[in-house]
Structure 1
């Protein structure tokens, strides 16, 4: 067992840009792709992951310090450092039982495929660390390893089911056929869905305002580089940066928004041949059944609405951080809130205005739950020695993915009444979301059928 664990840990430590392409090359060969085509698709996907990571790191490195300067200017002391996802991933992998989550995820997926409870093959196995983190949090709150694994396994089931009903919407906004996202951040759509339904009652919210609409109405001011420049300059002004620093930040923002859609095209280039080969292979063996490849969220990174939403939310997050009573988290490494922007893209169908509104409304949820998790995360970091924590401070993640699910089910596992009731309500909302997105998928299928007639 130790040797097997060492091999898997070695491969996983390579990171998503290496691990996921290896899995896709193997899947490609299984579905009878030519070796050169499978190799080309795999390496192109690796390039796409690295490219997206470089741009996000560049963006964080540019905007993060400006955000920190803004909070510093207020004079307010916040003692929980936002260490972002990397620190929490390190903490998750340091958990002694982390390795067991890997075969559990594969087993759950294969069983659900066999009994026809999902059509999604999740190859995004690197992000199993998210389920490990869920288990770590549940175990810390409930002191039960058994319940920790039960909740994590339940999360795997829920994310596969939601990946199925999200697929048509994801394909519609990305134009990449046969793929969906199995990233657990899509679970936050359960909270966003009823809020999005409420927006139906506001007439101005019923217009489909997306990046293309903005280009038609605003012309050059809606171009990626111009929007990126303007938004970044405004952040620089809020942070009281010098004139030169503000202009530099503006150009950096313009650079990021210009490069995102360019890199995203690589995902389509890599995944389309694999999707076609998988579809042909499966149709020969399972007639009448449609299968999807489950991947990480960056397949949606080419949608400008994601980045415009995430950047516009920055000043709101900073404002909430310094004004919300009881918040102790200083947004920094997690300042780009993809944890709400990505599920909001799916829930709203890419409606930019709705995405921004949903992001503003739910930002306090992220800050308050990040504050709640800070003592747990800090204690785990100290115990595992996986992350260095400055004396007298705590660490957390200001935009922790699907914090509602983790908080509610951790406290439900602990036998707390509000946690149990919260879990019942959350699952009811999940069913509502599932049925609503399934109905939307059927509508999209009908529209596609009419357009081909």
Structure 2
């Protein structure tokens, strides 16, 4: 039985999630033909997005590595990306307990009207497995690990409710929201974004990718921006002319393809969301329900990718500076395209590209410091589960630890550490402020819709 479950999960999000969506569509009254078509299209969208993202990573990562090597720094923790970390999580002996935990909490919160979000993104349950395994690794307690995971599940659902209206304004896909843990970075980003309101000359600046294009003409086109940014990264990596031009055109290609692939998510999700909305409204009068999904349905927003690529040289510079201060031991590699910060920044700033870039630069040190802190734990987890073998004196880690301050606080608070408890309390207070602020934003959106 366990082998069968692991086999199904091993098929990956591009197969697992479309299968879930087909079943959901059929349960919500869709015809077999429409449900299958929507599911297959969703699988194509996921696959296409991974292909383009992998293509861009292959173009930028070698340049990033070359830049760090040119500094002569010996960074012993390697950023391996999300895939090996997910494999470590799935190999945790108690991983399957998180499925009933997530589903049970979700159904209970729906019944108690604490959320209107039905989270069908069961593939990303591995993010909760990761937290539970991390806490158990520190404390030795399975119960504490499951409690920590439950806290994350609750916050993800509440966050999904809070951001749904903003997401609709961005992607125009009705009835869906994002329950990915990256969105738990929202409270901190919202606080910093609020502080930017008081910076002279910045409070009135509101520039998305379209406005940027109007301002600077051809230099605002995705293709040209990608070419220029890719060339800059290659120059920083010490490439020759051929390497610079090749990297530039590869990054340019990726930026042009992302919005094209993202349209497939709308084609796949809109029919399912409509069917689910109709089904729920018939049975629960007066309630609006949302389907909780992974983040890629937002990938058509050029701001995500422009901010992520502009962030790369700053990540590398910060990694070097922090290493000299003995605060970082990580070489940004597999996660150097850090979309887990640019996506929530898109939501918090409502697509204001200038603010997105500023927010991402300001919080990047948190990602590097937490990744350094977690490196020994992740390396031990890889060894204990037999997932990866790491050489002596080397460590593995993951820069894209979604909402790193929250996860660090959870792990260390449950380990009884004062710093962890203090930061977790601060996060709860900050989330309460964020909840109130986002509710006010949502009321403003409702009032605008009525006019």
The normalised TM-score by structure 2 is 0.98
Q: Offset of 1:280 from its aligned partner?
A: 1.3
1:369 matched to 2:370: yes
User: Where in structure 2 are the equivalents of 1:435-446 lying within 5 Å?
Assistant: 435-446=436-447
For 2:223 and 2:388, locate their aligned partners in 1 and report how far apart those are by CA, in whole Å. Answer: 37
Aligned match of 2:225 in 224, 227, 230?
227
For 1:414 and 1:18, locate their aligned partners in 2 and report how far apart those are by CA, in whole Å. Answer: 37
Partner of 1:213: 211
Partner of 1:63: 60
Partner of 1:319: 317
The normalised TM-score by structure 1 is 0.97
Partner of 2:257: 259
Partner of 2:422: 421
1:371·1:396 contact (CA, 8 Å) conserved in 2? yes
Q: Offset of 1:207 from its aligned partner?
A: 2.2
Q: Offset of 1:205 from its aligned partner?
A: 3.7
How many residue pairs were aligned?
447
Which of 101-110 and 203-212 deviates more?
203-212
1:294 matched to 2:292: yes
Aligned match of 2:4 in 3, 7, 16?
7
Aligned match of 2:74 in 74, 77, 80?
77
User: Where in structure 2 are the equivalents of 1:342-357 lying within 5 Å?
Assistant: 342-357=343-358
User: Where in structure 2 are the equivalents of 1:28-39 lying within 5 Å?
Assistant: 28-39=25-36
Spell out, residue by residue over 1:105-131, the C-alpha distance to the aligned partner (whole angstroms, 9 max, x if none): 111111111111111111110000000
Partner of 2:138: 141
1:86 matched to 2:87: no
For 2:4 and 2:113, locate their aligned partners in 1 and report how far apart those are by CA, in whole Å. Answer: 31
1:197 matched to 2:194: yes
1:178·1:275 contact (CA, 8 Å) conserved in 2? yes
Partner of 2:399: 398
Q: Offset of 1:186 from its aligned partner?
A: 0.4
Q: Offset of 1:8 from its aligned partner?
A: 2.3
SS at match of 2:202: helix
Spell out, residue by residue over 1:20-77, the C-alpha distance to the aligned partner (whole angstroms, 9 max, x if none): 1111111111111111011111100000000000011111111001100011111111
Partner of 1:98: 95
Spell out, residue by residue over 1:378-409, the C-alpha distance to the aligned partner (whole angstroms, 9 max, x if none): 11111111012123211101232221111111
SS at match of 2:292: strand
Which of 388-397 and 347-356 deviates more?
388-397
Aligned match of 1:51 in 48, 55, 59?
48
SS at match of 1:180: strand
Unaligned runs of 5+ in 1: none
For 1:146 and 1:348, locate their aligned partners in 2 and report how far apart those are by CA, in whole Å. Answer: 37
Unaligned runs of 5+ in 2: none
1:119 matched to 2:116: yes
Q: Offset of 1:259 from its aligned partner?
A: 0.3
Spell out, residue by residue over 1:130-189, the C-alpha distance to the aligned partner (whole angstroms, 9 max, x if none): 001111111122222111100101110110001001000111111111110010110011
For 1:419 and 1:71, locate their aligned partners in 2 and report how far apart those are by CA, in whole Å. Answer: 31
1:304 matched to 2:291: no
